[in-house]
């Protein structure tokens, strides 16, 4: 069974860079069928896709966050990572890593999620 686990600091200071890593177990991050992504949810609010990466390193970002986001992949460790720069209180959220599966058979689904990790931006 595929599992995803987020890790990283739960508290980040304003103007600094938020860094999270997602470790994938029970399956290979190098599968050609899937993308790997980050989704966040501010407290009491809705879901926001941050960006996605393919195992080859191709990246796709939410236009509203693109200037501050970097997603990278380390296939040797079966991990992918998120960096969000110049954070403010508005970036306080639960951050989920997930497997994204676009296909002609099943449409486009997010079929596996990490448990989520709360990151608070505060001095």
- Out of 47, 57, 74, 89, the only residue in the binding site for another protein (CB under 8 A) is 47
Q: How many CB atoms lie within 10 A of CB 107?
A: 8
Q: CA distances (Å), 4 to each of 22, 29, 88, 100, in order?
A: 6, 11, 26, 12
Considering only the stretches 10-18, 19-27, 41-49, 83-91, report the one whose residues sit in contact with another protein under the rule CB under 8 A. Answer: 41-49
Q: How far is the CB of 122 from another protein (least distance, A)?
A: 21
Rounded CA-CA distance 29/35 in Å is 8
Q: Which residue in 8, 19, 49, 70 binds another protein (CB under 8 A)?
A: 49
d(CA 60, CA 80): 14
CB of 16 to another protein, least distance (A): 26
Residues of the shown chain interacting with another protein in the complex, contacts defined by CB under 8 A: 35, 37, 46-49, 52, 60, 62-63, 96, 98, 100, 102, 106-111, 113-116
């Amino acid at each position: 069974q595929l599992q995803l686990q987020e890790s990283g600091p739960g508290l980040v200071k304003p103007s600094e860079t938020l860094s999270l890593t997602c470790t994938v177990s029970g399956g290979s991050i190098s599968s050609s069928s899937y993308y790997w992504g980050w989704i966040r949810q501010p407290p009491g609010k809705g879901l926001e896709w941050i960006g996605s990466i393919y195992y080859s390193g191709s990246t796709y970002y939410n236009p509203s966050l693109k200037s501050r986001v970097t997603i990278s992949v380390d296939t040797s460790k079966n991990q992918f990572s998120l960096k969000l720069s110049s954070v403010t209180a508005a970036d306080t959220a639960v951050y989920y890593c997930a497997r994204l599966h676009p296909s002609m058979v099943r449409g486009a689904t997010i079929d596996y999620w990490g448990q989520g990790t709360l990151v608070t931006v505060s001095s």
